[in-house]
Amino acid sequence: MAVPTIDHTLDEILNLAALHFKVPREKLTPDDDFFKTLGIDSLQALDLLTRLEHHFQIELPDYELQGVSDFRTLANRIQARL
Amino acid sequence: MLDLRQYASLGAALKDALERWPNETCLIEADRDREKVRLTYSDFKEMAQPLCRALEDADFKAGDRSAIIMTNQSKWLISAYAILFCGGVLVPLDYKLTALEHLELLAHSKARFLVVEYYLWRAITQLPEFAQLGVEIVLVTEAPAGADLHGAYRWEEFRRKGDPKFVVRQREDTACIVYSSGTGGRPKGCVLTHDSYLEQCASLTAWYPFWPGVRYLSILPTNHAIDFMVGFIGPFVCGACVVHLRTLRPEFVRDAFVRYRISYVSLVPMVLKNLERGLRAKFDELQPPKRWALNRLIGLNRMMTRRRPRLRLSRRLLPEVHKAFGGALRALIVGGAFTDPATLQFFYDLGIPVACGYGLTEACTAVTLNDLKPFRADTVGKPLPGTEVRVLNPDGEGVGEVAVRSRALMSHYLDDPEMTAQTIIDGWLLTGDQGRFDGDGHLQLCGRKKNMIVTAGGKNVYPEDIELVFDGLGLKEFCVFAANFLWPQRTLGDEKLVLVLRLDEGQQIDDRLREEIGSRNRRLADFKRVAGYLLWEKDFPRTATLKIKRGELAAQIAESATRAQMVQI
């Protein structure tokens, strides 16, 4: 199966984050600080990571999220494992 | 448990623990739902001895400082045991710090040895400052085959055959250097002796005993004072078992309670709140008749456990709730930061005892703890045995600075006699926290006197430590404060940092500057970020050496500005 482009991955992440935390998709942009935009703490961010793992069918260790606070960097980490 | 009065060092007590309960399980390591390691005390000894011997051969000497930067896992405890067995001084560092912060603390602690996980080591080696690393021997765990280790050894291969020689240490010798905070600014390395730990362990286990068969779920980082004591030393000297979970994903944490029939767990308020959210969501999904019945049972349990916890009764009244926690949970230990009393009460009403306490790294682990006789959600409990707590200069309501005296206190801050002299006076540790005692001898915390915040995740953040990231902003001067330090309030929780900005003559705050502040703020770890800025129109008062007089500036701001003038970033 072809690996999706980084833009596609990013778009999927934004869609899933919007759905998971019940915020309008148009309010989220790639460089948003997701802790602030979504109003979540680090444990809720881990919840999102689990959701993303299921969607992309990959496994991401918790440390992949260490120091990551924007959707674009998160997309890069996920893309590297696709 | 072992009689700790007989031991001169942590190493000696742990060594005897391995002999005393050879067939009991001491350590389980799981990653998600996969169990990776299960060790008896005898297995643990077998794993640790070749490492001890290899350290000996590497000329490891008594008093050598050895840092550990790892997530919670079996190799953390095995390495710590080996270091203490060989007479070393343990320097547990927070794995959540940045690579640069790790380098700064390694330099400050003058660590000679380092045990580190591969992904953290890789980040350290990629920094230009790596060239200045003074550590002599580095052991890297779980490095992939063929990885460039930059001169480090693989932990798994750093082993020698033969019986290692135990190195005797005395009670007054240093056991650990634990950083309570301070990177980029003025590192606060708390120097704790073997006596501190052995005394503290004896006090804590007097109230919350462990025994063989008890299982402690370790999800707080082991470098944290609470988990080091309650998730390593305490269980081991009592023959109990530590369960490490290499993920904090809420669904796997919940699963671990059941899978391993956990007896105790220590949590910071953020994790407790998350558990509460999960339970409340489940309750909300119940059909109205079931919800009504649940509420009645919770009410009945609350009434029946008013004077003391009654675990068996609570498990019978609310079996589904207790099954979700594995059915063997004896208490949740909560500390590290302010916890909302409503959250504590929520769990207690479900029949899950919550031991809420108060402590600080400078006092080893804990100062006060709720003894559950009866449970109180509105206090941080009573002073532990052997611990004296006083409220200094109380006001009309009995509120003053909390001071502590006990054998568990740190001996000093590493290489900082000035800060030590300001913090420990005549044997009393000045905590900087404001509190009062109620009529039952319970301590209630009411605020903070010092310029710092404690996050819901139990992290201490000192404003001076994060100012570096704002250096070079295009304006006249700036300073970071804890909002509660500027505008004290009689509550804890929801603590924030504020960036005070003094613009150049005629300068206006514009989008470019706001964007620059936001972008620099995002470089900080999420828990260290400033919440807002405050525009200040006077020059900052400074000393003859041009240091900002923070106290004076804070007093001026408190007098002429209000919290409402803070602009959110």
Of B30, B416, B390, the C-alpha closest to B188 is B416
What does each of the 569 residues of chain B score in pLDDT, given as a tens digit? 999 999 999 999 999 999 999 999 999 999 988 999 999 999 999 999 999 999 999 999 999 999 999 999 999 999 999 999 999 999 999 998 889 989 999 999 999 999 999 999 999 999 999 999 999 999 999 999 999 999 999 999 999 999 999 999 999 999 999 998 654 567 899 999 999 999 999 999 999 999 999 999 999 899 999 999 999 999 999 999 999 998 888 889 989 999 999 999 998 888 898 889 889 999 999 999 999 999 999 999 999 999 999 999 999 999 999 999 999 999 999 987 788 899 999 999 999 999 999 999 999 999 999 999 999 999 999 999 999 999 999 988 898 999 999 999 999 999 999 999 999 999 999 998 889 999 999 999 887 778 888 887 777 787 877 888 888 888 989 999 999 888 887 666 678 899 999 998 888 889 999 999 988 888 887 788 899 999 999 999 887 767 788 888 999 999 999 989 999 88
Across the interface, do B522 and A49 touch by the CB < 8 Å criterion?
A: no
In chain B, the largest separation of any two C-alpha atoms, in whole Å, equals: 75
Under 8 Å between Cβ of B383 and B443: yes
Q: Cβ of A46 and B457 within 8 Å?
A: no
pLDDT at B337: 78
Q: Which DSSP state fits B442?
A: -
Rounded CA separation B246/B252 (Å): 10
* CA quadruple B357, B358, B360, B363: dihedral sign: negative
Q: What is the ipTM of this complex?
A: 0.80
B25's tokens: 């399980």
Judge: A43–B248 Cβ closer than 8 Å, yes or no.
Answer: yes
Please give the residue of chain B at the shortest CA–CA distance from A36. B526
Judged by CB atoms closer than 8 Å, whether chains meet at A69 and B96 is answered as: no
SS3 B103: helix
The owner of tokens 């942590």 is: B10
3-class secondary structure for B135-160? CCEEEEECCCCCCCCCCCEEHHHCCC
Residues A47, B249: C-beta atoms closer than 8 Å: yes
Count interface pairs A-B at CB distance under 8 A: 41
Q: In this complex, do B246 and A62 lie within 8 Å of one another by their Cβ atoms?
A: yes
- Cβ of A47 and B96 within 8 Å? no
Best to test chain B binding among A22, A32, A36 (most B CBs inside 10 Å)? A36
Measured CA angle at B444 (ends B440, B449), to 5 deg: 145
Contact B348, B341 (CB under 8 A): no
Q: Out of B274, B522, B525, name the one closest to residue A33 (CB).
A: B522
**What pLDDT, on the 0 to 100 scale, is given for residue A2?**
72
With cut-offs at 50, 70 and 90, classify the pLDDT of residue A75. very high
The Cα angle at residue A72 between residues A69 and A74, in degrees rounded to 5: 60
Which residues does chain A have within 8 Å of residue B525's beta carbon, measured at their own beta carbons? 67
The predicted structure's pLDDT at residue B545 = 67
Instruction: Report chain B residues touching chain A, CB-CB < 8 A.
Output: 71, 96, 98, 119, 246-251, 270-271, 274, 456-457, 522, 525-527
The pLDDT score that the predictor gives to residue B183 is 47
A43/B71 CB distance under 8 A? no
Interface mutation vs chain A, best among B249, B272, B273, B459, most A CBs within 10 Å: B249
pLDDT on residue B457 = 73
The Cβ of residue A37 has, within 10 Å, a number of other Cβ atoms equal to 17
Mutation choice for A interface testing from B32, B514, B523, B526 by most A CBs within 10 A: B526
Enumerate residues 6+ apart whose C-beta is below 8 A from B369.
B204, B207, B208, B355, B356, B357, B358, B380, B381, B382, B384
